[in-house]
Amino acid sequence: MPVDVATFRDVLGQWPSGVTVVTTLAEGTWHGMTASSFSSVSAEPPLVSVALLKKLYTHELFQTSGVFGVNILAKDQTEIGKRFAGMNPEITDRFEGLDVTTAETGVPLLAQSVAWLDCRVLHMYDGGDHTIFVGEVVAAAVARQTGPLLYHSRSWGQFADQLPESASVRDSGLLAALDARGIAAGGALLASADAGLVIAEHHAITVDPIDAASVTAAREAVASTTGNDAKVRVTVLDAFAPDHHDAVIETVEAVVAVGADEVVLDDTSAHANPLTLRLRLIDAVASAKPAIVTVRLRDHAGLGMANALTALKTGVRSFDATLGGIDGTLAAEDLLYLCGLLDISSDVDRSAALHAADELEKAWGQPLPARTTSIRINSHQ
């Protein structure tokens, strides 16, 4: 005897899925509805499927039009998902105010979705109270780099946080901080290198994302150095300033497009907090692929470690720190301590890093600015 409908729906509600808006064009009019019953079928030839409830008006339109579009919604498009699900009955034109484009078949495609597919119906299969439409993909595009919208247990959301298995911690600020203060700390520098904190040879380029001339110069500098043996590392200043989101993401995309291997998002003016950091990194990590995204965090108002944890849970696997935090940057020892607490492995020898911090403190002549004294003591016990 089949399981009852309520139980069946409750069980399937535990399966998380993406959210799409499926669209079609019938008799010159656009139509669309929200659907999560979408999946890929084949790569060669490119085929996808959508299952629609037979009693829906859109189902009939799919049958007669022979074409459909699939729009994968972004994390910030919950309201669009609800609109096309009919949850806002006061909206009579679901496409009103949206940026809509077309491709091969003429079906409406949402330009601000994560990605879209333009399809011709190739097969229709009976699926109980649904019909399974298999479409041949005739055009497709990733519209923008951002996180997708998810649906689970009748709730809309984003990816659950997941900590990485490993993280990289490097130190690019120690030598400059020592030089600025006229402090000779050869022992600390050598110990830092032995720990694995020294950054490998690279081309260092700095860019101000809100200065068009700076962005142009950075792109030209990256383009002129790609193809050489050394990695190209671009540091984006004030990467977490509240009003700089679009400028930062566009800058990341621009330098990666011409060959940057690593993009360092620098919290230059200490604007980062867990919320702004998360929102900025979700888009930055997606936009930077295949380049590495590194964050350089300041330890201000006690937020340094909280921001580091947020970064780890938002896809960051690489940090730029400074031994002892002597330039105001989050201390390398603290980051390694956090990774140890969370069972995140690192290619840096933490014991050697602690020894380097001890050497640095001797040359510094006073306790290091970062609050790592108790951590160092506990680690040696």
The pLDDT confidence band at residue 159, using thresholds 50, 70 and 90, is: low
The pLDDT confidence band at residue 141, using thresholds 50, 70 and 90, is: very high
Name the segment(s) of the chain with CATH classification 2.30.110.10: 5-157
Return the higher-pLDDT residue of 21 and 315.
Answer: 21
Q: Is the pLDDT of residue 201 over 60?
A: yes
The pLDDT confidence band at residue 312, using thresholds 50, 70 and 90, is: very high
Return the higher-pLDDT residue of 329 and 227.
Answer: 329
The pLDDT confidence band at residue 4, using thresholds 50, 70 and 90, is: confident
pTM beyond 0.85: no
Residue 55 token pair: 């009693």
% helix / strand / coil in the chain, to the nearest 5? 35, 30, 35
Return the higher-pLDDT residue of 56 and 378.
Answer: 56
- Is 5-157 assigned to CATH 2.30.110.10? yes
Residue 199 token pair: 């950054």
Q: What is the CATH number of domain 166-380?
A: 3.20.20.70
Could you write out the DSSP letters of every residue in 225-252? HTTSSSEEEEEETTTT-TT-HHHHHHHH
* pLDDT tens, position by position, 49-108: 999 999 888 888 988 999 999 999 988 899 999 999 888 888 889 999 999 999 999 999
CA dist., res. 357 & res. 353, Å (int): 6
Average pLDDT of span 307-316? 92
Return the higher-pLDDT residue of 46 and 158.
Answer: 46
Average pLDDT of span 231-237? 95
Q: Is the pLDDT of residue 375 over 60?
A: no
CA dist., res. 241 & res. 161, Å (int): 23
Name the segment(s) of the chain with CATH classification 3.20.20.70: 166-380
Instruction: Kindly give the interhelix angle for 350-364 and 186-195, rounded to the nearest 10 degrees.
Output: 170
Q: What does the pLDDT read at residue 377?
A: 47
Average pLDDT of span 26-35? 91
CA angle 290, 232, 229 (to 5 degrees): 105
CA dist., res. 39 & res. 233, Å (int): 38
CA dist., res. 233 & res. 249, Å (int): 16
Q: What does the pLDDT read at residue 286?
A: 84
The 3-state secondary structure of 151-178 reads: EECCEEECCCCCCCCEEEEEECCHHHHH
CA dist., res. 45 & res. 80, Å (int): 31
Classified as helix, coil or strand, 353 is: helix
Say if CB 232 and CB 205 are below 8 A apart: yes
Q: Is the pLDDT of residue 311 over 90?
A: yes
CA dist., res. 348 & res. 320, Å (int): 12
Q: What does the pLDDT read at residue 217?
A: 96
CA angle 75, 49, 66 (to 5 degrees): 110
Of 151, 146, 124, which Cα lies nearest the Cα of 135? 124
Return the higher-pLDDT residue of 376 and 255.
Answer: 255
Classified as helix, coil or strand, 103 is: coil
Of 267, 336, 335, which Cα lies nearest the Cα of 306? 335
Say if CB 292 and CB 329 are below 8 A apart: no
Q: What does the pLDDT read at residue 372?
A: 52
Residue 79 token pair: 């309201």
By mean pLDDT, which of 19-23, 181-185, 342-346 is the weakest?
181-185
Average pLDDT of span 41-54? 93
Q: What does the pLDDT read at residue 271?
A: 94
The pLDDT confidence band at residue 381, using thresholds 50, 70 and 90, is: very low
Of 261, 264, 277, which Cα lies nearest the Cα of 313? 277
Q: What does the pLDDT read at residue 158?
A: 67
Q: Is the pLDDT of residue 374 over 50?
A: no
Across the chain, mean pLDDT equals 88
Sheet of 150-152, strands arranged across: 17-18, 150-152, 155-157
Average pLDDT of span 30-51? 92
Of the spans 34-48, 173-187, 220-234, which averages the highest pLDDT?
34-48
User: Can the peptide bond before residue 290 be classed as cis, meaning omega within 30 degrees of 0?
Assistant: yes
Residue 80 token pair: 């669009």
The pLDDT confidence band at residue 161, using thresholds 50, 70 and 90, is: low
Return the higher-pLDDT residue of 221 and 88.
Answer: 221
Say if CB 232 and CB 292 are below 8 A apart: no
Q: What does the pLDDT read at residue 187?
A: 87
CA dist., res. 187 & res. 364, Å (int): 12
Average pLDDT of span 320-342? 91
Q: What does the pLDDT read at residue 301?
A: 81
The pLDDT confidence band at residue 139, using thresholds 50, 70 and 90, is: very high
Number of helices (H) and strands (E), helices first, in the chain? 12, 19
Q: What does the pLDDT read at residue 34?
A: 92
